[in-house]
């Protein structure tokens, strides 16, 4: 047996970045050890204590009390990498969760790009954005809209260790009404017909069929547009699109197949109708009213407030990056910023963290956090819980992610600072180490230069 104790080195013993930070798949014999004086194993408790984390393969094997706990590994094991964060300047916590991303897209892309960019190119774009996302400390995401099979291909490549990135639950294409948000609009009829993605439906029976087709293609979750959207070229506002009966067919069919349902919804009537249909989450909920709140409470529906797009809108509007139709909707959307999260928190609705990155910048996912405090009156602890325990429950992964415990996925983030006191500690420039499913994520240079690192 080999026993690893606290290194005798007092200065960082750093290996070349390519040796320390590898995105290769973790084998069952690989071991990652993280030692720190401040470990936040369960954000819901707010309790921070010295601990030693032992990750074997892709799972947490043990959370041992004390930063100097002995760790024994049998002879013949694979790589063993140990990270020690001295003193109380750092906090170790579970990998963060973003419940609403679009990894294969980028902010303010030209509206015509979808007809010239191939699905294969979108998948490659997703590889870059997945790395940015996981480097920002987000080790699990729900991708709620990608062209063709691009989202599924990216999910599978990350899972197999071919490229670094977060665990992905992929929706594939968003279900839409004909000519609505999620359908191609603004082009000649023959172009629209040629680009038909098979994601539109009319009537309950056809909508049920589309859900079954997405399930067959590999969707982990179903997303549909209950209302109009901000960035689509359709010029029919943000009101309800699907009928109540169509929404019910989508939700019931998905649930029969064991899939959760996320509903894009801005307008008040669409929010309420989607909640009455039994959706698992309302994405955005910009104009949610009392009827919508009551319906969400009755259905146990989560709100994913997605405040981050307002950052992108304010940055990009002066640059003229949006069409006139979209710019007009953006201005209306900005006027309602924060009403959703304030109403949800006051009503005691469950809130799960989600940024809509792809509309906002990838890798800047943590910039949603101060907005949740500003507009929703949430405490830093509540925000951290929304991005760990609450989001894990929404995604159906509460026994896999969201806390540091034996048997859970080996998803760990080390930050400089105390996120329970200051959410700035979770911004990307304060991330010092990320482990995703037992794989040490390749990080920007100097990300781990404050840790004592040993490898065997």
Whether the pLDDT of residue 250 is over 80: the answer is: yes
196 and 127 inside one domain: yes
CA–CA gap between residue 229 and residue 239 (Å, rounded): 9
46 and 147 inside one domain: no
73 HSE (CA, 13 A, CB side)? 23
Output DSSP code: residue 404: -
51 and 90 inside one domain: yes
The pLDDT score that the predictor gives to residue 206 is 98
Residues in Cβ contact with 207 at an 8 Å cutoff, skipping those fewer than 6 apart: 175, 201, 242, 246, 249, 250, 253
Number of domains composing the chain: 2
What length does the chain have?
456
pLDDT in tens, 131-172: 999 999 999 999 999 999 999 999 999 999 999 999 999 999
If you average pLDDT over every residue of the chain, what do you get?
Answer: 92
Look up residue 207 and give its two tokens.
Answer: 């909508």
Note down the domain range covering 384: 96-394
pLDDT bin (cut points 50, 70, 90) of residue 328 is very high
The pLDDT score that the predictor gives to residue 174 is 98
For residues 351-372, average pLDDT: 98
175 and 28 inside one domain: no
CA–CA gap between residue 389 and residue 353 (Å, rounded): 10
Look up residue 131 and give its two tokens.
Answer: 């790395």
187 and 145 inside one domain: yes
Given 352, 375, 394, the domain boundary residue is 394
Q: What is the CATH number of the domain that holds 251?
A: 3.20.20.140
CA–CA gap between residue 115 and residue 228 (Å, rounded): 21
Listed residue (140, 40, 158, 144) closest to 97, CA to CA: 140
For residues 403-427, average pLDDT: 98
Q: What is the CATH number of the domain that holds 435?
A: 2.30.40.10
The pLDDT score that the predictor gives to residue 25 is 58
Look up residue 25 and give its two tokens.
Answer: 């798949």
For residues 94-103, average pLDDT: 98
Residue reference for tokens 């993605």: 197
* Range in 18-22, 92-96, 296-300, 436-440 the model is least confident about: 18-22
Listed residue (168, 121, 177, 169) closest to 148, CA to CA: 121
- Per-residue CA distances from 425 to 47, 89, 91 (Å): 17, 10, 9
Strands (E), 144-194: 167-170
The pLDDT score that the predictor gives to residue 3 is 37
Longest dimension (CA), the chain: 71
45 and 71 inside one domain: yes
Given 394, 426, 447, the domain boundary residue is 394
CA–CA gap between residue 232 and residue 184 (Å, rounded): 8
Residues in Cβ contact with 273 at an 8 Å cutoff, skipping those fewer than 6 apart: 226, 240, 242, 244, 247
Task: State the DSSP string of 27-54.
Answer: PTT-EEEEEEEEE-S-TTTT--EEEEEE
Residue 237 or 338, more confident: 338
CA–CA gap between residue 39 and residue 88 (Å, rounded): 10
Whether the pLDDT of residue 18 is over 50: the answer is: no
What pTM does this model have?
0.92
CA–CA gap between residue 40 and residue 33 (Å, rounded): 16
Strands (E), 353-418: 412-416
Whether the pLDDT of residue 191 is over 90: the answer is: no
Residues in Cβ contact with 445 at an 8 Å cutoff, skipping those fewer than 6 apart: 17
Residue 15 or 385, more confident: 385
The pLDDT score that the predictor gives to residue 28 is 63
Listed residue (456, 425, 429) closest to 445, CA to CA: 429
65 and 202 inside one domain: no
For residues 12-40, average pLDDT: 64
13 and 116 inside one domain: no
14 and 87 inside one domain: yes
Calculate the CA 437 to chain-centre distance: 15
253 and 126 inside one domain: yes
Given 394, 417, 439, the domain boundary residue is 394
For residues 401-406, average pLDDT: 98
Look up residue 312 and give its two tokens.
Answer: 């992108």
With vertex at residue 228, the alpha carbon angle to CA 396 and CA 130, rounded to the nearest 5 degrees, is 45
359 and 424 inside one domain: no
CA–CA gap between residue 329 and residue 333 (Å, rounded): 6
383 and 259 inside one domain: yes
């Amino acid at each position: 047996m080999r026993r690893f104790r606290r290194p005798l080195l007092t200065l960082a013993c750093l290996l070349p970045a390519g040796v320390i930070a590898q995105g290769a798949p973790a084998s069952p014999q690989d071991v990652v050890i993280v030692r720190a004086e401040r470990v936040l194993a369960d954000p819901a408790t707010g309790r921070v204590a010295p601990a030693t984390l032992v990750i074997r393969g892709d799972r947490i094997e043990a959370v041992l009390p004390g930063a100097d706990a002995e760790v024994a590994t049998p002879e013949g094991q694979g790589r063993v990498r140990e990270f020690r964060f001295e003193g109380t300047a750092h906090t170790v916590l579970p990998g963060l969760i973003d419940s609403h991303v679009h990894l294969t897209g980028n902010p303010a892309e030209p509206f015509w790009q979808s007809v010239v960019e191939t699905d294969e190119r979108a998948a490659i774009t997703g590889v870059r954005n997945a790395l940015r996302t996981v480097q920002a400390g987000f080790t699990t995401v729900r991708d709620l809209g990608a062209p063709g099979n691009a989202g599924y291909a990216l999910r599978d490549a990350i899972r197999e260790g071919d490229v670094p990135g977060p665990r992905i639950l992929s929706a594939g294409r968003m279900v839409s009404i004909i000519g609505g948000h999620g359908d191609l609009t603004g082009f000649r009829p023959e172009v629209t017909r040629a680009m038909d993605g098979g994601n539109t439906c009319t009537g309950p029976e056809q909508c049920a069929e589309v859900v079954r087709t997405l399930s067959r293609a590999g969707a982990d979750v179903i997303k549909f547009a209950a209302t109009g959207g901000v960035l689509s070229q359709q010029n029919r506002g943000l009101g309800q699109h699907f009928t109540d009966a169509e929404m019910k067919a989508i939700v019931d069919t998905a649930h029969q197949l064991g899939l959760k349902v996320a509903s894009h919804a801005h307008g008040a009537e669409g929010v309420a109708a989607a909640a009455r249909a039994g959706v698992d989450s309302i994405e955005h909920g910009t104009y949610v009213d009392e009827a919508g709140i009551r319906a969400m409470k009755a259905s146990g529906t989560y709100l994913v407030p997605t405040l981050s797009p307002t950052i992108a809108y304010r940055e990009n509007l002066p640059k003229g990056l949006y069409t006139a139709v979209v710019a007009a909707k953006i201005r209306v959307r900005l006027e309602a910023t924060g009403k959703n999260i304030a109403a949800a928190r006051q009503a005691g609705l469950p809130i799960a963290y989600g940024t809509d990155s792809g509309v906002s910048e990838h890798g800047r996912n943590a910039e949603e956090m101060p907005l949740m405090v500003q507009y929703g009156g949430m405490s830093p602890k509540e925000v951290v819980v929304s991005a760990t325990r609450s989001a894990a429950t929404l995604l159906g992964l509460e026994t896999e992610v969201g806390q540091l415990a034996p048997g859970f996925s080996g998803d760990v983030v080390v930050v400089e600072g105390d996120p329970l006191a200051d959410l700035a500690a979770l911004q990307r420039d304060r991330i010092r180490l990320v482990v995703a499913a037992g794989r040490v994520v390749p990080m920007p240079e100097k990300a781990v230069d404050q840790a004592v690192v040993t490898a065997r």
